[in-house]
Structure 1
Amino acid sequence: MYLNCHTYYSLRYGTIKPEQLLAIASENGVQTLALTDINSTSACMDIMRLSKTYKIKSVLGVDFRNGAQQQFILIAKNNQGFQNINNYLSRFLHHQELQIPDKPHEVIDDCFIIYPYQKNKHFELKSNEFLGITPQDLNQLKFSKWNQFKHKLVILKTVSFQNKKGYNTHRLLRAIANNTLLSKLPKSEEGKATDMMLSYDTLCETYAEFPNLIHNTKQLLKHCTIDFDFENITPKNQKCLTENESSDYKLLEKLTYDGISYRYGSDIQKNVYDRIEKELIIIKQKDFVSYFLINWKILEYARSKDYYYVGRGSGANSIVAYLLRITDVDPIELDLYFERFINLFRQNPPDFDIDFSWKDRDDITNYIFKTFKHTSLIAVYNTFKFRASVRELGKVFGLPKSEMDLLTRGKYNNNQLDNLSQLVIKYAKYIEGFPNYLGIHAGGILISEQPIHSYCATFMPPKGFATTQFDMVVAEDIGLYKFDILSQRGLGKIKEAVEIIDHNYTEQPPIDIHDIKRFKTDERIKNLLRNAKAIGCFYVESPAMRMLLKKLQVDNYLGLVAASSVIRPGVAKSGMMREYILRYRYPEKRKEAHPVLAQIMPETYGVMVYQEDVIKVAHHFGGLDLGESDMLRRGMSGKFRSREEFLKVKQKFFDNCKKDGKSDDLVADVWRQIESFAGYAFAKGHSASYAVESYQSLFLKAYYPLEYMTATINNFGGFYNTELYVHEARMHNGCIEAPCINKSSVEANIFKKTIYLGFMFLQSLESKTINRILTERNKNGIFQSLDDFIERVSISIEQLSILIKINAFRFTGINKRELLWEAHLKISKTIIQEPVINLFKTEKINYNTPELPSTALENAFDEIELLGFALCNPFLLLTTKPTGNLRARHLEKLEDKRIVIEGYLITTKNTKTANGKIMHFGTFLDRDGDFIDTVHFPPIAAKYPFRGKGIYRIVGKVMVEFNCVTIEVSELERLAIIEDPRYSVKSLNPTFQKKKSFQDLKKVIAL
């Protein structure tokens, strides 16, 4: 009976959650309703999936509006009608400048069209068109000509909110959407306070004088049937890559067996063929053949373009994927668990997360959209977060910024707040989690057998690729499984480093960066791993990973694979990270493992490290079948409402263990470890894929550290910011130079052991300025002087000042302060034009500028302003020279001693203790450039907070665990740096110091 129901996916308008809408309808005796969100189909699949639970027939449509102004409602008669509505809506969402008309200008088949009575009184209606009569229209209808055409009238009772609080929330959302004060929100931008659901009986009573309207509405809904099967989910991805499923399988089989010689050469073990046969049978049985072939097709294109990529995810446990070159992980070598990759109980295909360089990913995406017919990106719901909501609502209520700052920081007593501030907090909590706007999933792409619009409308974000209006969870609910095409900077670093090396070392053969077997036995790489000297290297450079490598002293591939997963929060949370380190370092500790667990996981000494370990334990230790274990895996992933999945199998796990005679304490401990993995554990193949990329970057770091650091800087680093990678290059005897007009490019480049930073690192230097400089230099040679530069390059004084201040004209031998004066005298502030080529060069006027020396310290402050960091040692900027001689390398011998040491802050990690208190981990550099790691427990974190970038005096106790040194901080003080000499009178030329004004300064210059 309701033809116009909104959920909160009517963004910044509706306030009802999808399931809540069905619950409200059920409570009010409503058996049929039409979900018609405003310009949105985000909630449609969820409503259809949940309708049976509430015994409600749901119909789908869209409420087409310009802002809050309703134009018309389209309701689908059937699935084809729903697709037609999505096609129509998508046209407006793809071209947002288009206004929705008063009526569709084209025929939209298999749909009913409902026009609001107040807006559309004066045109004839087609057979599928109706006028919607709201309760407010009833009195007027009695005297209207439409009273004579009751067969074209239906009930239009809008439902947008549940209650008065929902309406109040709606008004606040509308004010946010219109960026206005609540008191100034136009009524035309609001819904009606009565847009709530009435009981079925009350609705009928409201329209009792017009029984035709009730009859027409019922008949309209009776003629609408939408069907999506959520119980027997089958894959809805593109079914075939070739002409049919049979030829698809033949192709997959051929590609698999053709790949054997590439991967294994001539020495092939029987277990390789056994594994291939087993996988192919089940891949065919589960209808995943096209999923593998589509991934293969994408990566075949990538290889043709010489793009680097890494295939990971649970699919990395597959030998078929290895032979098709989707992944570079050998499941035979690593004894990867087949059932983690695929089993008969698994409904969805295995995950293939394919990483590309951030420079190549867009081309791959473009190729996919051109190659496959029904393709789209996947949306994510960007929701209202509490702090952001406080700010938005604060603006709506007109609170001053100071009060909003106080509320967002949580520094208030709720009982002492005024009414407006209390309302801000109340409603910020209420709308927390509401969808705010649609974004794009990091890498998910759908390749569907049916048009995407069969399931939802699509919108067009700035990336220029059609994107669904629902997220990946909804996609999987209907059987659409995403292809993950991701980007990461690690691959960009590796590829660029190889290109730099091949260019700079032409006398040696090109590097084979894919020779992983050689890298695994390389002693230099082993040394880097053992000593955690892996700054810049993929996945192994973070403070936590650096400390773990130090504790484990890993120097082999399998150890690194394990470390890549051990570092994950689940293992650490369960306490098994420490247990794994103990058993890894001390073989006698391995005997403490439970015999069953040690038998299941001999490689990790009975410690659960990987996702498949959890599945093995659930299956072999807990007696769950593989279907239940797969349910557990899905719950662990964090994607599918983890608590529900765990609870379904938890009791059976405990019951089975009890029957087996296992002790309650042991079972509880094992289950605790399983639970801690939720959302965090890696599949072993996934970790192994990461380790392959780690080895590639470690090889480059071991043999070509400066070239690799140059590539790292150009790809905007990794875990750390650019400054640390510049520092790391210096630690490898590199000479780091600021940008130079004649030596630098857009990116950093390297000449032997000298790295020139690129122009792109200069803040506020425009790309068009950079292009002009490089184009002119490439065309007519290097610049001879400032005059030569000004004559050849069109540039504003502001842009030229940046280049001079960074000392990019140092080749002239003229002090940059003097160059700045010259530049201001020679370049006018008028709009610059392109330089005109003159037949004869005019002689430049040379001015006698005053002596304006600049010091290294002044240069450092210019560098901080323009690059974000100084190129000198930051300890030189302290007001007082440190008196102590303690360095990071001394600390291991000072275990349990209280020490004082100075450190330059690099990064911090904030975390919470079990009782919710904030604590920190800090990473610093000492004066020699070595790392200092610190722990700041809650009392110290509260008393001595970090105060931004700088050098700190650290007081604390030295702690040593497994050869890894940290300082448990007891005091922390940021040390003062010198006054900026650029703005100090003392730094001026003595001649200048005698002058009284700017006019006096100008007299110094002989014009």
Structure 2
Amino acid sequence: MYLNCHTYYSIRFGTFSEIELLELAQTHGVPSLVLTDINNTSACLNFIRKASDYNIKPIVGIDFRNGATQQFVGIAKNNLGFQELNEVLSSFSHNKQVIPNEAPELKNAYIIYPFEAVLEQDKTDFKAHEFIGVSVAELRKLPFSKYIKYTHKLVIQQQVTVRNKRDFNAHRLLRAIDNNTLLSKLQKTEECHPDDSMLPLSELEQAFEMFPFIIENTKQLLEQCHIHFTFGANRISQNQQTYLESNAADYQYLEKLCYEKLSKRYSQPSTKVKSRLQTELQTISAMDFVSYFLINYDIISYAKSQGYIHVGRGSGANSIVAYIIGITDVDPIELDLYFERFINPYRASPPDFDIDFSWKDREDITQYIFKRFKNVALLATYNTFKYRAVVRELGKVFGLPKEEIDKLAADKHQTQALDEMSSLVIKYSKLIQGFPNHLSVHSCGILILQEPIHYYSATDLPPKGFPTVQFDMIIAEDTGIFKFDILGQRGLAKIKEAIEIIQYNRPEAPAIDITQVEQFKKDPNINALLKSGRAIGAYYVESPAMRGLMQKLQTQDYIGLVAASSIIRPGVSSSGMKQEYIKRQRYPETRKQANSKLLEIMPETYGIMVYQEDVLKVANQFADLTLGEADVLRRGMSGKFRSLAEFVAVEEKFINNCKAKGYPNDLTITVWNQIKSFAGYAFAKGHSASYAVESYQSLYLKCYYPLEFMVAVLNNGGGFYSAEHYIHEAKMWGAEVQAPCINTSEHYNIIKGKTIYLGLGYLKSLETLVVKRLLTERNFNGPFTSLADVIDRVTISIEQLTILIRIDALRFTGQPKTELLWQAIFKCNANKSKTAQGKLFKPQQKTFVLPSLQASAIEDAYDQMELLGFPLCSYFNLINENLQPHIKAKDLKHHINTRVLLYGLLVNTRFHKTSQGKRIRFCTFTDQEGHYFDTVHFTKVVNQYPIHGIGVYACYGTVTADFDFCSLDIIWSRKLEVLTDPRG
């Protein structure tokens, strides 16, 4: 009987979830219910999914509004009606059109016009599928209007937006936020009516008892509506069903691809390879995943045709089929990858293929997918009201001053000390916190479906211009919609650009085939970079934590790197198993300490769970859980689970099975706690292996073409470290780094021989238009010859010209920049009339005789710090105090358990919380020779000796060694004084 119900997906209007709506309806004895969110269908699929749990017949539709003004409500008779409504809303949304008073004609949907709107418009013409909706409050007006005679067109439209006074208050606050106005100035027309709530069914019928035909019309309308989707274990895949014309043709094509390409991966395929391939093909076919593999193959084939580099990872990297046809570059035979991780009889969803492309290529790949396939859209995600955002919004709504809002948002207040308004802000923030605030685009999910996109959802059109559905990945998977993950990353862009730079800067170098990863894995020079922690710039292995781990493990092969990229994840690390793994890796005799059963299950990782599939193996082989039950654990760990109930049930079975098998209780609890520690952090082994492949590609370039590689790193936004540190790294490998020069530099960084010229784009205050003018003029008419030549040829203000002179970008003139600055001022003031139009004749420049003026290296360094953000000289050259006797980073190993003094330039600092909630700090420095050392600042010194940004620090502490990796436990530290800025 309720045809117009809202949830909080009526963004900044509704006040409760779709589940709470169903609970409300069940409480009020409502057997069927229509969900009609305002210009939104986000909740529809989950509403349909959950309705049966409450014995409620679900019906869905859309409340079409302009702002808060209701134009009409559309209710789907069936799935096609839902599609029609989604198409209508999407058309209005994509074209940014005002919703008209009259609804378009629909074949499979009902239209309800609100009584007040009908009165105002004096509407008299109603089609067969159109009705007039009357609320309880509007019944008093009905007998006095001509519409009392429209007995076959009147239905109940008791809007449901709030449940009580508290909800109404939250609603008004949401409306004020949406209108960016003070609550006291919120117009009544922007609010719902306080009585827009659900009454018990008996009360609703009693209110309309004088108008039984309205009740009957409403019942008949509800009876005509039926909508159905499959969910959960009963779901049917909604993805594109076939790649070619039939399932049989798809399978033949996939099989043909595998056997054609087999020899490229395995020159002499073993029986194991052939058997694994045949098993996978049969399983992929039996589970109807063939088209999913072929679509991913199509995307990869296009990328390769364009010269794009990719990395295929995710659970699909465990597949030999994916490896053979080129979706991934991970050999599951070499790594003994667990087949059941990505496909098993209990898994209804296809394997995950997370496909990474260069951030520069991803847009084109996305365009290709939308052109190549028929029913394509991006997946959505919900941005919810977080504490700080709510407090800031409500602070504005209540009219609080900015200082007070900042204090509340930072959570730096005593509750008892708050005034009335601030207390209200905190009180009501708890009501709204967690509500959807707006829809956004999923970071990488693309949907390729069998049915039209609007069969499932309305779509929005974000700025990039790709239609985006209005539901997220959780409900998508529940419905049988499985996303294709197309990601952009900078690591691949570095590889691709480095190869291009090498071809330009070293044309004599042999052609590089970056796919020859098998050769890279065996190269001792490349592996030496890993072992020594010299992988700065290389994807995934450059961070201080990874650099330290590589040295502790003495990693010098691909298998070791695969393991390292997993054990560094918080799950393994926080459980204490990282240290145990390092110990068993370094000291083989300690492997005997492992439980014999666990060692049998995981011999490669010495009986320690490192990967997601280890959890599957342990659950299945150690605790006798089925693969289906083990997959429940995997999904729970990956954060893709809706409810803890099933997870808890599996936990109980795990413990009970272990007891039945006679395991000691402490062993059972230890193993279970290790499983739980993986939550949200575990990697599939194939996923780690995919990262390791990219790392080896980067390491090859870093090893043999370090300068070109570092330029590519800088041009693609760096990585873990600052641009300044990558410049330092380039110098350590023999580069000479020059400041920008208008006759040599481009907008980006370039290299000539061993000299790197920083790009003009590094100059923070230099306008992009000025850079464009300079480069265009130079490219068309040759290098600049003098300051006067620059002024003659380029329209530039004295402020912008000053930036170029101060960074020494005109050093080709041979004049000191102090002289150039004075000349620039005189010349620009002598000719104040500036125009963007080119001059027909070269003007006569005045010459000025100036005294000899010289700049010092210290002045240059301060100019560079101001304009670039860092000096090009060493920070140690800027120290204004004498260094005390000290050691260098390379000497740490000779002073273990001894107190020493080191001087270092801060590279990176990060905090960590102990299990007691106390803060400790980890820092990385480079000494005068450019070599790294790491420091640990325990709780007692963190606040006593703070680290205040970039600079050189005196670090005094005790040298400790953890598996031969030395670090300094800080006793005290101090930032050194720098030379005074001579510029005044």
Q: TM-score range by the shorter chain?
A: over 0.9
Q: 1:793-804 counterparts in 2 under 5 A?
A: 793-804=794-805
Q: Return the offset for 1:850.
A: 6.2
> SS at the partner of 2:152?
helix
Moved more, 461-470 or 386-395: 386-395
> SS at the partner of 2:480?
coil
Paired residues in the alignment total 979
Q: Return the offset for 1:879.
A: 4.3
Q: 1:606-621 counterparts in 2 under 5 A?
A: 606-621=607-622
Corresponding position of 1:351: 352
In structure 2, relative to structure 1, the CA distance for the partners of 1:201 and 1:863 (3 Å cut) is farther
Q: Distance between the aligned counterparts of 1:207 and 1:50, measured in 2?
A: 30
Write out per-residue CA displacement over residues 168-217 of structure 1, whole angstroms, 9 at most, x where no aligned residue: 22222222222222222222222222222222222223333333322222
Q: Distance between the aligned counterparts of 1:826 and 1:71, measured in 2?
A: 66
Contact 1:635 1:645 in 2 (8 A): no
- 1:260 partner letter: L
Corresponding position of 1:999: none
Corresponding position of 1:40: 40
Moved more, 38-47 or 811-820: 811-820
Corresponding position of 1:560: 561
Q: 1:712-861 counterparts in 2 under 5 A?
A: 712-827=713-828, 833-838=835-840, 840-848=841-849, 853-861=854-862
Whether 1:934 aligns to 2:935 is yes
Write out per-residue CA displacement over residues 221-241 of structure 1, whole angstroms, 9 at most, x where no aligned residue: 221111111151121111111
- 2:478 partner letter: D
In structure 2, relative to structure 1, the CA distance for the partners of 1:187 and 1:836 (3 Å cut) is same
Q: Return the offset for 1:516.
A: 1.3
- 1:551 partner letter: K
Contact 1:636 1:642 in 2 (8 A): no
| 1:238 aligns with one of 237, 240, 243 | 240
Whether 1:64 aligns to 2:64 is yes
Whether 1:445 aligns to 2:452 is no
Q: Return the offset for 1:880.
A: 3.3
Whether 1:26 aligns to 2:26 is yes
Whether 1:111 aligns to 2:112 is no
Corresponding position of 1:264: 266
Q: Distance between the aligned counterparts of 2:638 and 2:941, measured in 1?
A: 35
Q: 1:141-156 counterparts in 2 under 5 A?
A: 141-156=142-157
Corresponding position of 1:994: none
In structure 2, relative to structure 1, the CA distance for the partners of 1:810 and 1:682 (3 Å cut) is same
Q: Distance between the aligned counterparts of 2:36 and 2:950, measured in 1?
A: 52
> SS at the partner of 1:967?
strand
Corresponding position of 1:162: 163
Corresponding position of 2:390: 389
Moved more, 858-867 or 316-325: 858-867
Write out per-residue CA displacement over residues 324-370 of structure 1, whole angstroms, 9 at most, x where no aligned residue: 10001111111111111211111000011111011111000000000
Q: Distance between the aligned counterparts of 1:653 and 1:962, measured in 2?
A: 35
> SS at the partner of 1:909?
strand
> SS at the partner of 1:933?
strand
Write out per-residue CA displacement over residues 3-24 of structure 1, whole angstroms, 9 at most, x where no aligned residue: 1111111111111012111111
Q: Return the offset for 1:566.
A: 0.9
Moved more, 314-323 or 769-778: 769-778
Q: Distance between the aligned counterparts of 1:148 and 1:912, measured in 2?
A: 72
Structure 2: unaligned runs, 5 residues or longer: none
Q: Distance between the aligned counterparts of 2:873 and 2:652, measured in 1?
A: 62
Write out per-residue CA displacement over residues 427-449 of structure 1, whole angstroms, 9 at most, x where no aligned residue: 33332222111111111100001
Q: Return the offset for 1:761.
A: 1.9
Corresponding position of 2:100: 101
Q: Return the offset for 1:79.
A: 0.5
Q: Distance between the aligned counterparts of 2:100 and 2:922, measured in 1?
A: 58
Q: Distance between the aligned counterparts of 2:116 and 2:825, measured in 1?
A: 66
Corresponding position of 1:993: none
Contact 2:320 2:332 in 1 (8 A): yes
Write out per-residue CA displacement over residues 511-536 of structure 1, whole angstroms, 9 at most, x where no aligned residue: 12221122112121121111111110
State the TM-score, normalizing by the size of structure 2.
0.96
Contact 1:791 1:835 in 2 (8 A): no
Q: Return the offset for 1:851.
A: 5.6
Q: Distance between the aligned counterparts of 1:91 and 1:821, measured in 2?
A: 61
Whether 1:77 aligns to 2:55 is no
Q: Distance between the aligned counterparts of 2:409 and 2:952, measured in 1?
A: 29
> SS at the partner of 1:465?
coil
Q: Distance between the aligned counterparts of 1:936 and 1:191, measured in 2?
A: 56
Contact 2:316 2:322 in 1 (8 A): yes
Contact 1:736 1:755 in 2 (8 A): yes
Q: 1:895-906 counterparts in 2 under 5 A?
A: 895-906=896-907
Q: Distance between the aligned counterparts of 2:450 and 2:133, measured in 1?
A: 37
Q: Distance between the aligned counterparts of 1:799 and 1:199, measured in 2?
A: 72
Q: Return the offset for 1:951.
A: 3.7
In structure 2, relative to structure 1, the CA distance for the partners of 1:961 and 1:131 (3 Å cut) is same
In structure 2, relative to structure 1, the CA distance for the partners of 1:819 and 1:12 (3 Å cut) is farther
Moved more, 584-593 or 512-521: 512-521
Contact 2:739 2:807 in 1 (8 A): yes
Q: Return the offset for 1:788.
A: 1.3
Corresponding position of 1:1003: none
Moved more, 280-289 or 343-352: 343-352
In structure 2, relative to structure 1, the CA distance for the partners of 1:732 and 1:561 (3 Å cut) is same
Q: Return the offset for 1:766.
A: 3.1
Contact 1:15 1:166 in 2 (8 A): yes
Q: Return the offset for 1:664.
A: 0.8
Q: Return the offset for 1:919.
A: 3.5
In structure 2, relative to structure 1, the CA distance for the partners of 1:700 and 1:68 (3 Å cut) is same
> SS at the partner of 2:34?
strand
In structure 2, relative to structure 1, the CA distance for the partners of 1:372 and 1:958 (3 Å cut) is same
- 1:636 partner letter: M
- 1:179 partner letter: N
- 1:95 partner letter: N
Q: Return the offset for 1:471.
A: 0.9
Q: Distance between the aligned counterparts of 2:908 and 2:489, measured in 1?
A: 21
Q: 1:641-652 counterparts in 2 under 5 A?
A: 641=642, 643-652=644-653
Moved more, 195-204 or 34-43: 195-204
Corresponding position of 2:90: 90
Write out per-residue CA displacement over residues 260-285 of structure 1, whole angstroms, 9 at most, x where no aligned residue: 111112x2211111011100000000
In structure 2, relative to structure 1, the CA distance for the partners of 1:429 and 1:870 (3 Å cut) is farther
> SS at the partner of 2:198?
coil
Q: Distance between the aligned counterparts of 1:327 and 1:27, measured in 2?
A: 52
> SS at the partner of 2:71?
strand
Q: Distance between the aligned counterparts of 1:214 and 1:559, measured in 2?
A: 72
- 1:721 partner letter: S
- 1:626 partner letter: L
Q: 1:76-475 counterparts in 2 under 5 A?
A: 76-96=76-96, 98-104=97-103, 106-121=104-119, 122-124=122-124, 125-231=126-232, 232-265=234-267, 267-475=268-476
State the TM-score, normalizing by the size of structure 1.
0.94
Q: Distance between the aligned counterparts of 1:611 and 1:388, measured in 2?
A: 35
> SS at the partner of 1:198?
coil
Q: Distance between the aligned counterparts of 1:470 and 1:918, measured in 2?
A: 39
Contact 1:322 1:330 in 2 (8 A): yes
Corresponding position of 1:998: none
Moved more, 441-450 or 226-235: 226-235
Q: Cα RMSD over matched residues?
A: 2.0
Contact 1:68 1:188 in 2 (8 A): yes
- 1:101 partner letter: P
Q: Distance between the aligned counterparts of 1:395 and 1:17, measured in 2?
A: 25
Write out per-residue CA displacement over residues 586-635 of structure 1, whole angstroms, 9 at most, x where no aligned residue: 00100001111111111111111111111111111010111111222222
- 1:55 partner letter: N
> SS at the partner of 1:437?
strand
Contact 1:634 1:642 in 2 (8 A): no
In structure 2, relative to structure 1, the CA distance for the partners of 1:202 and 1:802 (3 Å cut) is farther
Contact 2:792 2:842 in 1 (8 A): no
In structure 2, relative to structure 1, the CA distance for the partners of 1:103 and 1:866 (3 Å cut) is farther
Q: Distance between the aligned counterparts of 2:383 and 2:582, measured in 1?
A: 39
Contact 1:634 1:645 in 2 (8 A): no
- 1:12 partner letter: R
Q: Distance between the aligned counterparts of 2:414 and 2:98, measured in 1?
A: 47
In structure 2, relative to structure 1, the CA distance for the partners of 1:832 and 1:353 (3 Å cut) is farther
- 1:102 partner letter: N
Corresponding position of 2:587: 586
Q: Return the offset for 1:760.
A: 2.0
Q: Return the offset for 1:970.
A: 4.2
> SS at the partner of 1:411?
coil
Q: Return the offset for 1:875.
A: 3.3
